[in-house]
Structure 1
Amino acid sequence: MEIGITTDIIDSTKYPKGVFYYVRYLIKNISKIQSNHNFHLIHYHQNQDSIYQLGFDEILLKPYPIPVPTVSKLLTNYIKSPALLKNLDIIHFPEFRLPWFPLFFRSSAKKVLTLHGGRLWVPPQSKPKIYRKPKAWMLTKFLALTFPLMKDKIDMYIAVSHFLKWEMMENLKIPEEKIKVIHLASDEKFKPQKTEKEGIIISDTPIPELIEIYYKLGKKGIKHKLVIFSMREYGYENAKEMVKKLGLEKEVIFAGYVSDDELVKLYNTADLYLRLPLVETFGIPPLEAMACGCPVVTTNVGSLPEVVGDAGILKNPDDIDGIVKAVHEVLMNEGVREDMIKRGLERAKMFSWEKTAKETMKVYEEVYNSNS
């Protein structure tokens, strides 16, 4: 079987996050599986990332010299790519990206599409506003209009959680039999280290509610500093303004983007990881934290109950006082904290990229052997 996987996100991502890691670790773990299948990595530009050093064939689709990259790639995939990809039995799109749109119609290969929720399914509270993110707003509108046309061109969908599968069935009207749930994981580098705790709470949710929670914790006698690591745009400036208003400049540290090695250190030196999403379709960071032995307090939205289970504390995102109470309990009660560390380590072991790769391989084989 000749299997192509689109890897362009590896070439173009400045700040790696969820889908980037999904592509990288999926391919690295596929390389460890013994099979008679041939894999081809499909992208646009030469790149020295580690996935291109695994011995897989690369199919480079040189875009037309047009100053608008998206238009250039769309034309390339409409005109040149079908011929270059004609020998593939399956193409796996690890995320829906607009330039690949023509291949859903013009490639004869069977198609597998992984949905993470951020492009094709957008919950009402997360839909981009035209005045804040006009490009994202236009893309969302475009997908809403065109997805019904391409929906049946996909032979199998992969959802990263059962929560997302339900949303795909309910909102995108995708038949249940065309959706396979395959969970993501945290990388092996996220593990406990012998290091001293630094009296910090860490979070990657730079929103005003986080600052309010931290302020109330201070009123209850908590002396920990708050370290916020994130390149997220929404809420960042409002959070900084609230920090200034409450006089917390010396207690709150905005660390911005941190590398994986720095993140492993943060998880290991923190007493607690606090995440406050309003929607979540998987949630790799809570797994990373638990794998490092860092207690997790987060919201009970989306897939988080599915991922965190009873290893962390899940609270309604509107229950600010309940979140404050939960964090205070973890920080002040060593027995609770040690129990959460133990359960978190065990929970994280339930997810692995090796398992993700093996289950994805089964999807390829099922699609290849189907009559559709």
Structure 2
Amino acid sequence: MRVSLGVTLQVQNAAGLEIWTKEFIKALGNIDKENEYIIFDYFWRDFEQRKKMAFLPKQNNFSLYLKKAPRPIITYFEDHKISIIERWLEKKNIDIFHSTGYFLPYLRKIKAITTIHGLDFEEMDAYWYKEPWYRNVPIYVKRADSIIAVSEYVKASLMRYYKIPQQKICVAYPGVGEEFIRIKDKTKLNNFSKRFSIPSPYILTVATSVERKNLKRVLESYYRIKKLNPGLKLVIVGNKKSIQMPLVSEIEKMDLKNQVYFPGYIGPTDLVYFYNLAEVFLFPSLYEGFGLPVLEAMACGCPVITSNISALPEVVGDAAILVNPYSVEEISTAMEKVLTNKTLRLELAEKGLKRAREFSWKKNARETLELYKKVLQ
């Protein structure tokens, strides 16, 4: 069996989709040494730089296949049933094309699978979802022979918005990266804290956007409890340009200039320390198709407060405190409850560790491999 894994190589730091893709490919390589996997992408800009960003397992059954071609033009042709990508893939004798995120080319001979990570662009009426690309997702899911949804919530959304038959959708939960563990060595934690000049104690949140990650309400909630916890800081991990800049005026209005810490983008090997050192992980996102950060926090034994909407309740089970993400009062009350109750913090930490163990990339890869076999039958 020869499978082409359609990826989207980026120049910037890895976020949700890029992390999912890398971990999935790594897990697939760990369990399958027989079938052949060709990691495929096409683009024009920053070709050599993006090429270096590709993750490729160091084993004989994995290879890289990149085409230097303008993505918008090729995608336009494919969206209008002018097949170019299939001709490229036929040269590699591909049996299945698996898109790791949404886009599917027009394929007539090769079987097609796409992974859908969420339908926030359907559920949220927001200005940042006005790009034409989102309108083409219904085309891609209808082209697929099978669809992988990252949660039952996403599966239900696919059925609701696009009338996709239930039997066409397979749910395969993501796992948690092996870097995310509970660190018990206090010396290691203290040394890391000094190296990064991390303020302590602190509430942690991780974000890729101000709007969907609900950062303005995070600030408002923190401002409310700050009066009762004068030494408490707020740490917001994420790209400074997209996260810090839009919040500057809000921070100044609330007089929180020296209370909110922006360390910038943090990779997994360092992020694990941020989770371990935090008093609580706050993630009142307005939408998540899955929500990898809550899983990472739980795997590190960090108490979690998150939203009671989208896929987040499905992911955390009873191992976190759920709040209405649109209610600043509810978010701040939950924060105060966790911060003032050590027994509750310990209980949430233990429940989180147990819950995180239920999610595995190895299991995800096995379920996907079974789906490949089923599609070819």
Band the TM-score falls in, shorter-chain normalisation? 0.7 to 0.9
Secondary structure at 2:30 match in 1: coil
**Counterpart residue number, 1:53:** 58
Structure 1 residue 52, shift from structure 2 partner: 4.8
**Counterpart residue number, 2:102:** 96
After alignment, is 216-225 or 35-44 more displaced? 35-44
**Counterpart residue number, 1:28:** 26
The separation in 1 between residues aligned to 2:180 and 2:270, in whole angstroms, is 11
The separation in 1 between residues aligned to 2:314 and 2:129, in whole angstroms, is 30
TM-score if structure 2 supplies the norm length? Answer: 0.84
Q: CA, structure 1 residues 325+308, in 2 after alignment: closer, same or farther (shift >3 Å)?
A: same
Structure 1 residue 171, shift from structure 2 partner: 0.5
**Counterpart residue number, 2:67:** 62
**Counterpart residue number, 2:160:** 170
**Counterpart residue number, 1:343:** 351
Structure 1 residue 365, shift from structure 2 partner: 1.0
CA contact (8 A) 1:85 1:107 kept: no
Structure 1 residue 176, shift from structure 2 partner: 0.5
After alignment, is 15-24 or 304-313 more displaced? 15-24
* Residue 85 of structure 2 corresponds to residue 81 of structure 1: yes
**Counterpart residue number, 2:178:** 188
Structure 1 residue identity aligned to 2:364:
T
Q: 1:210 is matched with which residue: 218, 236, 239?
A: 218
The Cα offsets for residues 168-224 of structure 1, whole Å up to 9 and x where unpaired, read as: 000011111100011112101000112258311111254221111111111223521
The separation in 2 between residues aligned to 1:62 and 1:238, in whole angstroms, is 36
The separation in 2 between residues aligned to 1:181 and 1:251, in whole angstroms, is 41
**Counterpart residue number, 1:133:** none
Structure 2 residue identity aligned to 1:296:
V
* Residue 36 of structure 2 corresponds to residue 38 of structure 1: yes
Secondary structure at 1:12 match in 2: coil
* Residue 150 of structure 2 corresponds to residue 160 of structure 1: yes
Superposed structure 1 runs of 4+ greater than 6 Å apart: 232-235
The Cα offsets for residues 313-337 of structure 1, whole Å up to 9 and x where unpaired, read as: 0011122222212111211111111
After alignment, is 53-62 or 183-192 more displaced? 53-62
CA contact (8 A) 2:289 2:310 kept: yes
The separation in 2 between residues aligned to 1:181 and 1:79, in whole angstroms, is 29
The separation in 2 between residues aligned to 1:284 and 1:313, in whole angstroms, is 16
CA contact (8 A) 2:240 2:262 kept: no
* Residue 116 of structure 2 corresponds to residue 115 of structure 1: yes
Can you give the 5+ residue segments of structure 1 that lack an aligned partner in the other structure? Answer: 131-136
Q: 1:140 is matched with which residue: 125, 130, 134?
A: 134
Structure 1 residue identity aligned to 2:18:
F
Structure 1 residue 24, shift from structure 2 partner: 1.0
* Residue 12 of structure 2 corresponds to residue 6 of structure 1: no
* Residue 203 of structure 2 corresponds to residue 201 of structure 1: yes
After alignment, is 339-348 or 72-81 more displaced? 72-81
Structure 1 residue 72, shift from structure 2 partner: 5.2
Q: 1:300 is matched with which residue: 308, 328, 353?
A: 308
Structure 1 residue 35, shift from structure 2 partner: 5.8
Structure 2 residue identity aligned to 1:123:
E
Structure 1 residue 277, shift from structure 2 partner: 0.9
The separation in 2 between residues aligned to 1:253 and 1:34, in whole angstroms, is 43
Q: CA, structure 1 residues 57+291, in 2 after alignment: closer, same or farther (shift >3 Å)?
A: closer
Secondary structure at 1:125 match in 2: coil
Q: CA, structure 1 residues 58+123, in 2 after alignment: closer, same or farther (shift >3 Å)?
A: same
* Residue 251 of structure 2 corresponds to residue 246 of structure 1: no
The Cα offsets for residues 25-50 of structure 1, whole Å up to 9 and x where unpaired, read as: 11111112146422222234643644
Q: CA, structure 1 residues 222+118, in 2 after alignment: closer, same or farther (shift >3 Å)?
A: farther
Secondary structure at 1:122 match in 2: helix
The Cα offsets for residues 30-87 of structure 1, whole Å up to 9 and x where unpaired, read as: 11214642222223464364425333343524234xxx54225666995653233222
CA contact (8 A) 1:184 1:356 kept: yes
CA contact (8 A) 2:147 2:169 kept: yes
TM-score if structure 1 supplies the norm length? Answer: 0.85
CA contact (8 A) 2:309 2:324 kept: yes
Secondary structure at 1:311 match in 2: coil
CA contact (8 A) 1:114 1:158 kept: yes
Number of positions where the alignment pairs a residue of Structure 1 with one of Structure 2: 348
CA contact (8 A) 2:284 2:325 kept: yes
CA contact (8 A) 2:10 2:53 kept: no
The separation in 2 between residues aligned to 1:237 and 1:31, in whole angstroms, is 40
